[in-house]
């Protein structure tokens, strides 16, 4: 069973068997507007929790995507090169950015579960 965690910067990570799939939340893609370009890290890159892992550009602005957990990049969503709009259309599924092999699953304990993230969103409106 996979578990989804959320960061205060509006990234999500779905974790199963020590592998994390990372993307941005629906709230984040709404704030960005139409995504026109995504810059992804190279496979084998080490990402560190809280530091830049990718860049997403929209018609409004460019924004960093921060790693919600540390690990080694084992896959990237190459389909975003031709279809960056997937981030807007399906941010929690087909719009994922990268997959990492987690280096410390304990880092996930500092993230929010779905209920806590929804409470954060309510506080923003």
Q: Mean pLDDT across the chain, nearest whole number?
A: 96
The three-state secondary structure class of 30 is helix
* CATH of segment(s) 3-124: 2.40.50.100
The three-state secondary structure class of 29 is helix
Handedness of CA 102, 115, 58, 51 (dihedral sign): negative
Q: What residue segments make up the domains of the chain, in order of their start?
A: 3-124
Task: Say which residue the tokens 């592998």 belong to.
Answer: 19
Q: 94 near 87, Cβ under 8 Å?
A: no
Q: 94 near 86, Cβ under 8 Å?
A: yes
Is the pTM of the predicted complex or chain greater than 0.85?
A: yes
Read off the pLDDT of residues 46-94 as tens digits, 9 standing for 90 and up.
999 999 999 999 998 899 999 999 999 999 999 999 999 999 999 999 9
């Amino acid at each position: 069973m996979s578990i989804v965690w959320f960061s205060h910067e509006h990234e999500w990570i779905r974790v199963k068997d020590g592998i994390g799939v990372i993307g941005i939340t629906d709230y984040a893609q709404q704030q960005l507007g139409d995504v026109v370009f995504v810059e992804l890290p190279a496979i084998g890159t080490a990402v560190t929790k809280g530091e830049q892992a990718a860049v997403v550009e929209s018609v409004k602005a460019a924004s960093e995507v921060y790693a919600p957990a540390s690990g080694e990049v084992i896959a990237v969503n190459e389909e975003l090169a031709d279809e960056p709009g997937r981030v807007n259309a399906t941010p929690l599924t087909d719009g994922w950015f990268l997959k990492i092999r987690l280096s410390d699953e304990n880092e996930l304990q500092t993230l929010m579960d779905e209920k806590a993230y929804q409470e954060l969103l309510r506080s923003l409106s």
